[in-house]
Structure 1
Amino acid sequence: MVPVLFAFALCTGAASAQSPKSGCALQPVGGTSRQLLRCQGGLTVIAESGARYSLVDRNKDGKVDAAKLQSKALLLDFAAGSSGTGFQVSTPQAIAAVRGTKWAVDVAAGKTSVFVVRGAVAVQRPTGGTGVVLNPGEGVDVDQGTSALTVKRWPRARVSALMARFGQ
């Protein structure tokens, strides 16, 4: 499986019950307040404790194909070769889209950070403009400004700190 970092809301984060219509099943993560969702179509989502998000079925086929993330972080794993048209995460500062990959999206203090564990993810601002493509080990920080997005290889300490928030 590959983690992935939107339409009517199917389920909302922060420990709410999941709608049977979402195609996702909530599984407890022993001893933590993180949420683990397993969804139809090969998607697994781990939500950091306190994350505010909603899952969306953009084409209304009964399968989650997007997320809207307002705060904190999600780790998404979208199985390569699964059916569907890919997956995207939208935040106030960025849109990250993928097909068959594992990545994390983190929203905090007017900034969205996207990091790719496996696969490739396209990132751009919601207002459009030139986007970037991230490969494994790369990340980008997107603020509300208009400066060009800069892809960087993230240091091990930053990656470890982010992944630890998901018990990884």
Structure 2
Amino acid sequence: MSFVVTVRKRAGWVGVGLAACILAAGPLSAQPRGCSVTTYTDPPRETLSCPDGLRITAEEGSVYALRDRNRDGRPDVVELTSRGVLVDVPAGRRGGFQVQTPHAIASVRGTTWAVDVTPARSSVFVQTGVVAVNRPGGPAVTLRAGDGVDVAPDAAPLEVKRWGRERAATFLARFGR
């Protein structure tokens, strides 16, 4: 099952499966089973909240698809192709969760982390918890709270860095944090 989501400031749209709905000023009329969407204006973003505690906050202009690989009716993968998402995965959520970008795969079992995608790279930052990040088919690095990694499409080894306060704060502010 797939849910394709695009967050735009003006008259954006969100599609779920093959259905599409227009975003006016209110919440989505279609989303993954039992989940709800809240729209915020400062900064512009939308937060998808699901009954199992999963929350995905997408900044304005983000394009992502939610996937349900195990077909249990709950998203377990975000395929992010543009801009950024902040993901809150509650500890103990069954099955884990991944964010996949053109450059990287970030996997987790319970944490809060943000991912940004540009044509040149994907950036992953961990606010709380632990996240494994790798290129498709490549070795993984482990990020802990305060760590980040920039993943370019080249073959250079992934380098975990402690993000400075300013970079982390600027990144998280995009999601209202």
Same-fold status (TM-score > 0.5)? yes
RMSD value, Cα: 1.5
Identity of matched residues, %: 45
Pairwise CA distance, 1:167: 1.2
Whole-angstrom CA distance in 1 between matches of 2:148 and 2:42? 30
Number of corresponding residues:
159
Pairwise CA distance, 1:130: 1.4
Does the aligned pair in 2 maintain the 1:98–1:120 contact within 8 Å? yes
Pairwise CA distance, 1:41: 2.0
Does the aligned pair in 2 maintain the 1:69–1:90 contact within 8 Å? yes
Larger radius of gyration: 2
Does the aligned pair in 1 maintain the 2:76–2:96 contact within 8 Å? yes
Does the aligned pair in 1 maintain the 2:48–2:57 contact within 8 Å? yes
Unpaired segments of 5 or more residues in structure 1?
Answer: 1-7
For the pair 1:10 / 2:3, whether they are aligned, the reply is yes
Does the aligned pair in 1 maintain the 2:128–2:145 contact within 8 Å? yes
For the pair 1:120 / 2:113, whether they are aligned, the reply is no
SS of alignment partner, residue 58 of structure 1: coil
Distance 1:143 1:22, change over 3 A: farther
Pairwise CA distance, 1:12: 1.2
Provide Cα deviations, 1:113-158, integer angstroms capped at 9, x if missing partner.
00000000000001x1211010000000000001110000001110
Whole-angstrom CA distance in 1 between matches of 2:135 and 2:65? 19
Whole-angstrom CA distance in 2 between matches of 1:112 and 1:31? 24
SS of alignment partner, residue 34 of structure 1: strand
Does the aligned pair in 1 maintain the 2:32–2:75 contact within 8 Å? no
Does the aligned pair in 2 maintain the 1:140–1:152 contact within 8 Å? yes
Given the two structures, how large is their TM-score scaled by the length of structure 2?
A: 0.84
Does the aligned pair in 2 maintain the 1:137–1:153 contact within 8 Å? yes
Higher mean alpha-carbon deviation, 48-57 vs 24-33, is at 24-33
Does the aligned pair in 2 maintain the 1:23–1:62 contact within 8 Å? no
Given the two structures, how large is their TM-score scaled by the length of structure 1?
A: 0.88
Tell me what 1:26 maps to. Answer: 37
Whole-angstrom CA distance in 2 between matches of 1:21 and 1:102? 20
